[in-house]
Amino acid sequence: MTMTETPTRAADTVRRTTAGVTFAKPPAETAGEAAIRIRDANLWYGRNQALYDITMDIPARQATAFIGPSGCGKSTLLRCLNRMNDLIDNVRVTGEFLVNGQNIYAPSTDVIEVRRRIGMVFQKSNPLPKSIYENVVYGLRIAGIRDKATLDEACERSLRGAALWDEVKDRLDESGLSLSGGQQQRLCIARAIAIEPEIVLMDEPCSALDPIATLKVEELIYELKSKYTIVIVTHNLQQAARVSDKTAFFWLGKLVEHSNTAELFTNPREKHTEDYITGRFG
């Protein structure tokens, strides 16, 4: 459905909403390489259906944003991607989630392997009650890596990658809980990238952070894009516009629109999308 009434006013509102934002430019299409292909995904919490026939491709080494009003299923879909919904009772998932051609919901799939290749950063930062060093190398330790040199190198690499190294390099033995909120979230990002996953999922990573910390994390995401595929769920439309290459808009469990960010924000195809990003609901 195309925009019908007062296109100028709608466009104005969109421009106002996204004023001062430099849109991310998706890199030259890497031959349409998709990190994740979702085909006809449906999800039920008990008797309530939460996702309806989701079909989409998430491109590799780009950032894809999931936006939509509360309860639209974006977090649910995100958690499907690394099988974290398995932890909830009464969840039933159908459809295919293909990562590198393999369906991660196939019965023969090793969940641990899936979670190693697809990392996650949560809404409320959750550092483990261990030292900073132990937090970062946690993923490596549980994978069986014990060599100190390897762990040290991975720790430094990840903390640099998370833009946290300079701030904590002298106090790696201190508890991870002694950091500020923004630092904790970057620690969680460091922990996620330490095991060198292919895909990093982020569930509203900045919602509990102040603007400056948010900015730092956004810059981080911008840099991580070149190495990892990022999928980020966010309520913050400006953030989605700033950071992501592609945006998917969800509404009541359905995928409404999925296109390049700049396009979706300046020239949305669907009316629901336009209503949402102009603030008419949600």
Partner 1 sequence: MSPLRDILRRGDPAIWFAGTGLGISILMISGMIGLILWNGLGFFWPSDLEEFTLKDGTIVMGEVVTREAIPAPGTPDHLKRFRLQVKAGNRDVSGADFRWINEDEIAARQIPRDAVYVERREYGPFIGRPVKLVDGDREIAAGVDVIAALPPLVDKAHDDRKAIRTIERDDIGAVNYRIEQLRLEQRALDLDAVRRPGVDQTGARAAIEQQLSALQTEYEALEQKRATAVEAASRARITLKTASGEEKDLPVLDVFRFFAPNQLGAWGRTQVYLGRVWEFLSGDPRESNTEGGIFPAIFGTVMMVMLMTVVAVPFGVLAALYLREYARQGVLVRIVRIAVNNLAGVPSIVFGVFGLGFFVYFVGGAIDQTFYPERLPTPTFGTGGILWAALTLGLLTVPVVIVASEEALAAVPRSMREASLATGATKFQTILRVVLPAAAPGILTGLILAMARGAGEVAPLMITGVVKLAPDLPLDGYFPFLHLERKFMHLGFHIYDVGFQSPNVEAAKPMVYATAVLLLAIVVLLNLTAIIVRNRLRKKYQTSAFS
The β-bridge partners of 96 are: 39
Q: Tell me the C-alpha distance between 235 and 24, whole Å.
A: 17
Residue from 12, 113, 153, 174 binding partner 1 (CB under 8 A): 113
Burial class (CB in 10 A: 0-12, 13-18, 19+), 22: exposed
Element (H, E) at 72: none
What radius of gyration, in Å, describes the C-alpha atoms of the chain?
19
Q: What is the dihedral of CA 270, 275, 281, 282, to 10 degrees?
A: 50
Asked if 116 interacts with partner 1 (CB under 8 A), we say yes
Size of the site for partner 1 (CB under 8 A): 26
What are the tokens at 64? 């894809």
**What is the pattern of x (binds partner 1, CB under 8 A) and - over residues 150-189?**
-------------------------x-x------x---x-
Residue from 61, 115, 186, 242 binding partner 1 (CB under 8 A): 115
Asked if 19 interacts with partner 1 (CB under 8 A), we say no
Coil, strand, or helix at residue 276?
helix
Pick between residue 120 and residue 155 the one whose CB is nearest to partner 1: 120
Provide, rounded to whole angstroms, the least separation between the CB of residue 214 and partner 1. 18
71-90 binders of partner 1 (CB under 8 A): 82, 84, 87
Residues that bind partner 1 (CB under 8 A): 82, 84, 87, 112-113, 115-116, 119-120, 122, 124, 126-129, 138-139, 142-143, 175, 177, 184, 188, 191-192, 195
